[in-house]
Amino acid sequence: MEKGSKRSYEAPKLERIEGAAAKVVGHLLNQSEDLKKKNVELERLSTIDALTGIANRRGFDEAVRRMIAAIPPKGIDKNKEREYALHRLAIMVVDIDHFKKFNDEYGHAVGDEVLRAVAKNLVEHVREVDLVARWGGEEFIMAFPGADTERILAKFGERKGEKETPARMEVSVAVDGKTYNIQVSGGVAEYQPGEDFQSTFNRADKALYLAKRTGRNRIVGY
């Protein structure tokens, strides 16, 4: 620059500044929206069992808490039959009979197919409002809003003429051209208004233990 000359400066046009700022803001908003969607998906996946595609223990806990929250702590007058029926909740704990022995004999790949098949079979046995979840290992858990123990036992039992057979469930699984007949045991208990869920679960678990102790391949109510 020559001596005495002045540096020239042209202020950027307002339109260019606003346009650039809008692009930056738009980019940041898109990133924020993508992050929100990813977080929502991660939250959803955290409640799903990766092997079977049904709810996991966390997913079940969250859902059953909402079911219990809808039940008045002091219950409903039994004389109000319709309202009383709507505010009932039955829980069933299900365990695959002799699964460890089956897994050891046929391998984990076949065992995984059995778990998927049992999960699918349980889902096919319930209504849309019911919930099926994998509790852990070969154990599953189910929640039936608006149902009691007797109704669930009747649902899984069979009636032939005047004779009603005990509630039970068997699942056929085909893997690599071989068919395996899988039997399960279950225990059912009904939630009592005002109690915590663990108390209901403990009764259902005791009923499951009774089913195992009295021959397996059956569903027992507490």
Query: What's the CA gap between 59 and 50, in Å, rounded?
Result: 12
Note whether 221 and 204 are within 8 A (CB): no
**Within a 10 A sphere around the Cβ of 124, how many other Cβ atoms?**
8
Buried b (16+ CB within 10 A) or exposed e, 140-173: bbbbbbebbbeebbebbeeeeeeeeeebbbebeb
> Any catalytic annotation for residue 138?
yes
95: left (phi over 0), alpha (psi -120 to 50) or beta: beta
Q: Spell out the residues 6+ positions from residue 47 whose beta carbon is closer than 8 angstroms to its own.
A: 55, 56, 58, 59, 62
Beta bridge partners of 182: 171
Considering the candidates 2, 83, 138, 164, report the single residue annotated as catalytic.
138
What three-state secondary structure class fits 211? helix
Nearest-10 Cα torsion for 209, 212, 218, 220: -20
**Within a 10 A sphere around the Cβ of 209, how many other Cβ atoms?**
15
Q: Which residues are catalytic?
A: 138
